[in-house]
Chain A
Amino acid sequence: MASVTDAELKEMTQEERVKALGMTTEQLTGKSLYIEFDPDAEERFTYPWAPDVDFNKRTELDCDGLTTTEVNAKVRDLMNEGYGTVVLQNPRGMHSLGVGILNKLNLIIEGSTGYFAVGLIDGPNVRINGRVGWSCGENMMSGTVMIEKNAGSTFGAAMRGGDLVCRGSVGSRTGIDQKGGTIIVGGDTGALSGFMMQRGRMVVCGNAGKNLGDSMYDGTIYVGGEIKSLGVDAVTAELTDLDKAWLTRKLKQYGMMPDKGVDHFTKVVAGKMLWNYDNLEPNEKKLIL
């Protein structure tokens, strides 16, 4: 920032810093206040409902004959009734199953789902005893999702938090635009995995396809098997003891620890060459061709 230097920011109190960076809540004055802002009017910024559920209260729901919308609405009703564990039977490969759950919940899906399974969630623990289509766990904020079989492409696209685990193999573009959280793949992953990754961690126990970590801004990818090729601006880095400890803990947590341990994992991080293009030397600019 041009006018406030880092040194100046350090000198300031928290309150001054917040003000200088513009993070304050504005005090309304002026005409728009008395024309439009009625203090009794409904607040337009209230977080959505979050029913209190009991994990020990369990129920099953047979999806046979129901539409996705009916199933999702039913799950919401069950949460309102306090059910904390819901088992969905016969999911029949439905798309958008369990999306947008912003609450704690144990959700068990007995079968396979279509695209966008449990996308846009914040909080639930999900187990899918089957396969999932594209974009499972898309944009998830927190919680854990565990898939017992294989998953389609763009697994965990733009995900921001939580743990997204697939015991089998996944398609291409896994963790594209990943912004946080952890993706764990027991098998292989396809091409362009970790494309434009921003933050978070991705663990692939098997092999990775072409252009791994292409254009990644930041974040870390660990691969247990072979990497077909690295993408633009992705580089390997040394696997530190801290990495090993973290990998061991995470993989044990999900019972996915390889027999030979974690020492053989390759760590891939951003080369950070593309962070500021203008700082590149003339011949380095060929990187993006």
Chain B
Amino acid sequence: MADGDMPKKPALARDVNRIGDSFIFPPRVMDDIHIKSELGRYRMRGFSLFKKIPHWDDLTFMPGTLTRFVIEGYREKCDTDVKIGPRAKRPLELDIPIYITGMSFGALSYEAKTALARGATMAGTATCSGEGGMIPDERRYSSKWFYQCIQSRYGFNPNHLVLADGCEFFIGQGCKVGLGGHLMGQKVTDQVAEMRSLPAGIDQRSPARHPDWLGPDDLALKIQEIREATDWQIPIQLKLGAARVYDDVRMAVKCDPDSIYIDGMEGGTGAGPHLATEDTGVPGIAAIRQARKAIDDLGKRGEITLIYAGGIRNGADVAKAIALGADAIAIGHSAMMALNCNKDIPEANYPEEIGAEPGYCYHCHTGRCPVGVATQDPVLRSRLDPDEAAERVYNFLHTLTIEAQLFARACGKTNLHSLEPEDLAALTMEASAMAGVPLAGTNHTVGIEDYHHL
């Protein structure tokens, strides 16, 4: 049958003569073009990247067998505590190497923010304000609390700065490296607008550059200013989106912070351009290795703490990130899932409210979160019980820690931070090249001639 003839019967889905199955233009790409030609702008969304990249699943642990001696699962100690910014007068001491990353009040509801704070406090770890200023109750319920100094300086207040246990400079985030924050009009309620000194209901696109410094030389002075304002008490952390990680981290180290936070391209967002989430940054497995090397090359290991965030889902991811060189991990989206994100709760009607089934929601930017996490709407917010949510956050943080310990013990370590790249093997060539660990079953590390005699 020639192309263009009328079919005698309806085409079958698998009739290759009838189906245009383009690799370049699959249906979702066509949909994307259709949507954008209606909108006249880029698409906004929440969540993180959708496409597959080399990531944690492409690495595997090489636990002790006969060459190594293992540590007893439940009985023997495996330390998990970590000190962020040991040089500061008042370093941040965390019981577990995982804390809750900065997610703004505005992107998240009051209930979500306070539940995260309470869960983290139960777990003996920290939270971070995120953009848009402090909500007093978050500070109250967080035993350890980072205050974020972000480009827009929305709600930034020196009276709140002196209440903080750490100050984080947002320079970029992995999900949309090089861009500022976004909060769409639906979420800019009167209260959020007032905290940010903005008119209510407008689309808020935060600046991507800091107002009072432009490059690393000025940043060094800015860090000094914050130290003066806080009496050199608290650690200063720089949050960078992962791009040219080795060079960026070297420059960051030169600015002399107490800690550096690298956000991999897997990192989440409350709202960002769809394309930026897909097409900016480098994966965590590559970024951590390079950041670690930059800090070590400048002789600052043990002085400047390395934090990693982006796409951390379980204790294996935590352990792998620590093995590759991170000192601590921050989590965003997975903590939101502990709050109920994408869970099929009885009060929510996902298909009607958001147009997607539970498990497929990425609509944080709309402010219509069916589970009351990423919204400012009082009715939706009442779906989140902060008491139960706080406990779930605690349970999740605790589980991540014992899962990570499980791998550390199996690899024979009595401290989670003793995990090292040597404990890992790569399952793909890409992961081997990026993470700098040998391909499983070989002595070959892609891109490195003789790994064992470096």
Q: Using a CB–CB distance below 8 Å, which chain A residues touch chain B? A: 1-4, 20-23, 25-26, 28-33, 35-37, 43-48, 68-69, 72-73, 95-96, 99-100, 102, 114-116, 119-122, 134-135, 138-139, 141, 154, 157-158, 160, 173, 176-177, 179-180, 196, 198-199, 217-218, 274-278, 282, 285
Contacts and interface: CB of A to CB of B under 8 A. Distances in A.
A265 to B, nearest CB: 24
Nearest to A31: B391
A29 to B, nearest CB: 5
A96 B121 CA distance: 34
Contact of B156 (A158, A199, A274): A158
Q: Which 5 A-B pairs have CB atoms at the shortest separation, nearest pair first? A: A30-B387, A100-B229, A157-B211, A135-B212, A158-B153
Interface string B194-232: 001111011100010001110000100110111011111
Contacts of B224: 68, 95-96, 116
Interface of B: 39-41, 109-111, 114, 118-119, 121-122, 136-137, 139-143, 145, 152-153, 156-159, 161-163, 185-186, 189-191, 196-199, 201-203, 207, 211-213, 218, 221-222, 224-226, 228-232, 367-368, 376-381, 386-388, 390-391, 394
Contact of B221 (A45, A96, A179, A278): A96
B378 A180 contact: no
Given A2-B368, A116-B222, A100 B162 contact: yes
Is the contact region of chain A dominated by helix, strand, or loop, or is it mixed? loop
Contacts, number: 189
Given A22-B109, A282-B40, A69 B391 contact: no
A173 to B, nearest CB: 7
A75 to B, nearest CB: 11
Contact of A139 (B136, B153, B202): B153
Contacts of B139: 44-45
A278 B146 CA distance: 35
Contact of A35 (B122, B226, B228): B122
Contacts of A4: 377-378
A25 B386 CA distance: 13
Nearest to B145: A44
23 contacts: A4-B377, A21-B378, A23-B191, A25-B136, A26-B137, A26-B386, A30-B388, A37-B141, A47-B163, A95-B221, A99-B228, A102-B158, A102-B162, A115-B218, A116-B212, A134-B213, A141-B158, A196-B207, A199-B197, A217-B202, A278-B41, A282-B40, A285-B40
Contacts of A46: 163
Contact of A116 (B122, B225, B377): B225
B213 A135 contact: yes
B159 A47 contact: yes
B142 A120 contact: no
A100 B153 contact: no
Contacts of B41: 277-278, 285
A189 to B, nearest CB: 15
A71 B143 CA distance: 32
A48 B159 contact: yes
B95 to A, nearest CB: 12
Contact of B212 (A2, A31, A158): A158
A95 to B, nearest CB: 5
Contact of A68 (B143, B201, B228, B379): B228
A179 B213 CA distance: 17
Contact of A119 (B136, B137, B198, B225): B225
Contacts of A134: 212-213, 218
B387 A32 contact: yes
A96 B212 CA distance: 13
Contacts of A48: 159, 162-163
Contacts of A218: 198-199
Nearest to A21: B191
Contacts of A282: 40
A32 B121 contact: yes
B377 A1 contact: yes
A154 B215 CA distance: 14
A154 B211 contact: yes
Contacts of A160: 157, 197
A154 B212 CA distance: 6
Contacts of A141: 157-159
Nearest to B206: A196
A273 B141 CA distance: 40
Given A29-B387, A217-B202, A121 B212 contact: no
A23 B376 CA distance: 11
B211 A26 contact: no
A2 B201 CA distance: 11
Contacts of B199: 217-218, 275
A276 B41 CA distance: 12
B83 to A, nearest CB: 20
Contacts of A33: 387
Contacts of B163: 44-48
Of the listed residues B191, B197, B202, B218, the one surrounded by the most CB atoms of chain A closer than 10 A to its CB is B197
Contact of A102 (B159, B191, B213): B159
Contacts of A29: 387
Given A22-B381, A45-B163, A134-B213, 14 more contacts: A3-B377, A3-B378, A22-B110, A30-B387, A36-B121, A44-B139, A48-B163, A99-B229, A102-B159, A119-B229, A139-B212, A198-B196, A277-B41, A285-B40
Nearest to B165: A44
A120 B149 CA distance: 12
A4 B382 CA distance: 13
A116 B211 contact: no
Given A4-B378, A26-B137, A100 B388 contact: no
A277 B153 CA distance: 22
Contacts of A21: 189-191, 378
Of the listed residues B114, B143, B159, the one surrounded by the most CB atoms of chain A closer than 10 A to its CB is B159
